[in-house]
A and B are shown apart, each in its own frame.
Chain A
């Protein structure tokens, strides 16, 4: 079960993902990312309420990596719980994605570079 809240901020899109992302609910995540990537150059994703993400869910993030890079869209995810963070790290995604501890850091990263 996943709950996705989308909030449009002044110059970026804030997406909050709550609950669990598995094969079936990853479609919702995909839709949210898709519309964000079409309309915004800066995307913040709050994963502090994300309890679990399956490999299919990770696949959604991975599928956008290339597109974000070519279109010069900045995406920062923040607030990962330890278990979720571990999953990202084991897979090696910390090398390819911007991951910060909290929203402030994320915003700084978003605007800094």
Chain B
């Protein structure tokens, strides 16, 4: 396809060429006629080139005149005005020529007359066609399907008249009149499409009236000029004998006339339309103020300004409660605001202004009268966010009864939109904060992960496996093992009361205590007692830690444990095949923070055999509940262990977890849970 630029250039070139050929053949025919030359040249040739001149001009303007838009109506009319000015100046030169050479032979020479006439024809074609295209753009602004069809029909009819003209019907002949009446009728129907006028503001309306009147004057001038030429009788080809041009003249004048009248009649209402438009724009501003990255304060400013202009208020204020109360005023002082609040007569408005509105909101009750020297009328609207009044907007007028229901509706809409914007603003901020917290928790999670041993001690005497999962990002479960001296291993499992971040902090403390104490305690009871007094100093009153502490002696193949309120570990004896619970008496760490604590702690020593197994766990597992609220219990874990007791240790761990998850059947665990398994060799 040809590019638009090329089409414009080709149309321009075709137009110039058409005019040259039209003029050439027109004058040539005149020459042939004048000197009775016997040349066989069809008289239709100039007609054809006149037609191509019209078509190429049409094509040129079709591409150069843009579609009508609410911002360019005046530009389009300006264009008509300028084109008219230029072409009229051209035609004035022709008149000047006749004025100067009024009675000389040169002005009576038919060649000169026809040549000048053809120049005028070119100018008229340019002006008529360009104006026609502009009118078309205006008529088709906010077009409907029917309008497009009607317009298409009109254009085809005009094209038809161009072809009709080739047959050389004379002005005012029957066929000519029929065509004129038909096209004129269509033109009148089309000329009443004037939607664009509504979008002009007061000033633009005056401008457009001026431009259209001037365009009409040009048209009149052209018409006079053409008629003058017609009267000379020397014309070989008279434009006024062309139905196309005459109907174009009629159509353009019709539309110009109707436009001027309608614009004139629309002048008084334009202020109303402008106000509505301004309301819509303000509304848009309010709804976009937050996404545009503005603060809540800017939204309040826009709300106050647009509300004032919407109801022609003389003064206004906006009061917002909150951590930092805001009082924005326009045309009143803070002191006057206080006065006005007191001079309100209506209870409901008093309630609004003192920020005591609950859910119910009656639009009819927000208009009130004032007993104040400066202001007589008031509208007060509560600013609600999530059904809570966060502030109030008050608009004031110096005259009484200045406000009506419609104004209240507008203000309410503004306020609602502002509320939504403010709400969104809060939500966005909350979302950002949440995102930040999540990020922090992620960090905490990775920090906590590093607190648990990443690689568990492996040696020739036992295997060990562990698994820990927190219900939230971080948890309060802890397990660890260290080897303070050769063949001695200290193993711990612990559970901080509660869960989440506070539990995680305490878990970190527990780790510190374990690593410092486990190096030089000799018995579990000693560790538990010392840990209790250490932890008692740093835990909250309502927090505690349960733990089991093992001292494993691999040389003597025995282990000793003490239980500090933790759920009893399971001990599997390979020789008997029994699983027993290690449930010596004990008390949670931090529950009793004095020297009596050690009275409640007992320890037990067990000699193990190769193949024996220890299973340590936290109550997250035994208290896990399925959808029927049934607890997994120590029994559930015990039978699961029994079932898989011979599996390799890492598999065994997975199987225990799998059995638990199967029991839960998709129910989410709401506590941290941890497993540690030791199998002796």
Residues of A that sit less than 8 Å from B by CB: 22-23, 30, 51-52, 54-56, 58-60, 62-63, 65-66, 83, 87, 90-93, 95-96
A62 and chain B: residue at smallest CB distance: B591
A83 and chain B: residue at smallest CB distance: B631
Residues of B that sit less than 8 Å from A by CB: 495, 497-499, 540-544, 546, 565-568, 583, 585-588, 591-593, 600, 619, 623, 629, 631, 670-671
Q: Which residue among B568, B586, B588 has the maximum number of chain A CB atoms within 10 Å of its CB? A: B588
B587 engages A96 (CB within 8 Å)? yes
A92 engages B588 (CB within 8 Å)? yes
| Distance in angstroms between the alpha carbons of A51 and B543 in the assembled complex | 21
* A52 proximity list for chain B (CB < 8 A): 623
B497 engages A58 (CB within 8 Å)? yes
* B591 proximity list for chain A (CB < 8 A): 62, 65, 91-93, 96
| Distance in angstroms between the alpha carbons of A76 and B7 in the assembled complex | 100
A91 engages B588 (CB within 8 Å)? yes
Known A59-B497, A83-B631; judge A91-B542 contact (CB<8 A): no
Known A60-B542, A65-B591, A96-B587; judge A90-B497 contact (CB<8 A): no
The 10 A-B residue pairs whose C-beta atoms are closest, nearest first, are A92-B587, A63-B542, A55-B497, A59-B542, A91-B565, A63-B541, A56-B498, A91-B588, A92-B565, A59-B497
Q: List 6 A-B contacts (CB under 8 A).
A: A56-B497, A66-B541, A90-B565, A90-B568, A92-B585, A92-B600
* A54 proximity list for chain B (CB < 8 A): 498, 623, 671
| Distance in angstroms between the alpha carbons of A96 and B541 in the assembled complex | 15
| Distance in angstroms between the alpha carbons of A59 and B496 in the assembled complex | 11
Please report the number of residue pairs spanning A and B whose Cβ atoms sit closer than 8 angstroms. 67
* B542 proximity list for chain A (CB < 8 A): 30, 56, 59-60, 62-63
A90 engages B567 (CB within 8 Å)? yes
Minimum C-beta distance from B187 to chain A (A): 79
Minimum C-beta distance from A100 to chain B (A): 20
Excluding A90-B583, A93-B587, 11 further A-B contacts by CB distance (< 8 Å) are A30-B542, A55-B495, A56-B497, A56-B498, A59-B498, A62-B541, A62-B591, A87-B619, A92-B588, A92-B600, A95-B585
* B623 proximity list for chain A (CB < 8 A): 52, 54
| Distance in angstroms between the alpha carbons of A55 and B591 in the assembled complex | 12
| Distance in angstroms between the alpha carbons of A63 and B592 in the assembled complex | 10
| Distance in angstroms between the alpha carbons of A2 and B316 in the assembled complex | 51
Minimum C-beta distance from A5 to chain B (A): 22
* A91 proximity list for chain B (CB < 8 A): 544, 546, 565, 587-588, 591
| Distance in angstroms between the alpha carbons of A65 and B629 in the assembled complex | 30
Minimum C-beta distance from B281 to chain A (A): 49
A53 and chain B: residue at smallest CB distance: B623
A59 engages B543 (CB within 8 Å)? yes
* A56 proximity list for chain B (CB < 8 A): 497-498, 542
* Chain B at the A interface: SS class: loop
* A66 proximity list for chain B (CB < 8 A): 541, 593
* A60 proximity list for chain B (CB < 8 A): 542
* B566 proximity list for chain A (CB < 8 A): 90
* B567 proximity list for chain A (CB < 8 A): 90
A59 engages B592 (CB within 8 Å)? no
Minimum C-beta distance from B282 to chain A (A): 45
B565 engages A23 (CB within 8 Å)? no
Known A59-B498, A62-B544, A83-B631; judge A95-B587 contact (CB<8 A): yes
Minimum C-beta distance from A33 to chain B (A): 11
Q: Which residue among A30, A91, A96 has the maximum number of chain B CB atoms within 10 Å of its CB? A: A91
| Distance in angstroms between the alpha carbons of A51 and B629 in the assembled complex | 10
Minimum C-beta distance from A2 to chain B (A): 15
A59 engages B499 (CB within 8 Å)? no
Minimum C-beta distance from A73 to chain B (A): 16
| Distance in angstroms between the alpha carbons of A91 and B587 in the assembled complex | 5
| Distance in angstroms between the alpha carbons of A93 and B544 in the assembled complex | 12
Q: Which residue among A22, A55, A56, A92 has the maximum number of chain B CB atoms within 10 Å of its CB? A: A55
* A62 proximity list for chain B (CB < 8 A): 541-542, 544, 588, 591
Minimum C-beta distance from A26 to chain B (A): 8
* B585 proximity list for chain A (CB < 8 A): 92, 95
Q: Which residue among A22, A60, A65, A95 has the maximum number of chain B CB atoms within 10 Å of its CB? A: A95
| Distance in angstroms between the alpha carbons of A101 and B154 in the assembled complex | 102
Known A91-B587, A92-B587, A92-B600; judge A55-B568 contact (CB<8 A): no
Minimum C-beta distance from A35 to chain B (A): 17
B600 engages A23 (CB within 8 Å)? no
| Distance in angstroms between the alpha carbons of A93 and B623 in the assembled complex | 18
* A65 proximity list for chain B (CB < 8 A): 591-592
* A96 proximity list for chain B (CB < 8 A): 587, 591-592
Minimum C-beta distance from A10 to chain B (A): 30
| Distance in angstroms between the alpha carbons of A30 and B583 in the assembled complex | 30
A23 engages B499 (CB within 8 Å)? yes
* B540 proximity list for chain A (CB < 8 A): 63
B497 and chain A: residue at smallest CB distance: A55
Q: Identify A95's interface contact among B499, B543, B600, CB under 8 A.
A: B600
Minimum C-beta distance from A27 to chain B (A): 11
Q: Which residue among B497, B566, B629, B671 has the maximum number of chain A CB atoms within 10 Å of its CB? A: B497
Minimum C-beta distance from A49 to chain B (A): 14
B601 and chain A: residue at smallest CB distance: A92
Q: Identify A23's interface contact among B498, B544, B583, B619, CB under 8 A.
A: B498
A55 and chain B: residue at smallest CB distance: B497
B592 and chain A: residue at smallest CB distance: A96
A56 and chain B: residue at smallest CB distance: B498
Minimum C-beta distance from B561 to chain A (A): 15
| Distance in angstroms between the alpha carbons of A17 and B546 in the assembled complex | 24
Minimum C-beta distance from B261 to chain A (A): 75
Minimum C-beta distance from A59 to chain B (A): 4
Q: Which residue among B498, B546, B583, B585 has the maximum number of chain A CB atoms within 10 Å of its CB? A: B498
* B546 proximity list for chain A (CB < 8 A): 55, 90-91
* A51 proximity list for chain B (CB < 8 A): 629
B629 and chain A: residue at smallest CB distance: A51
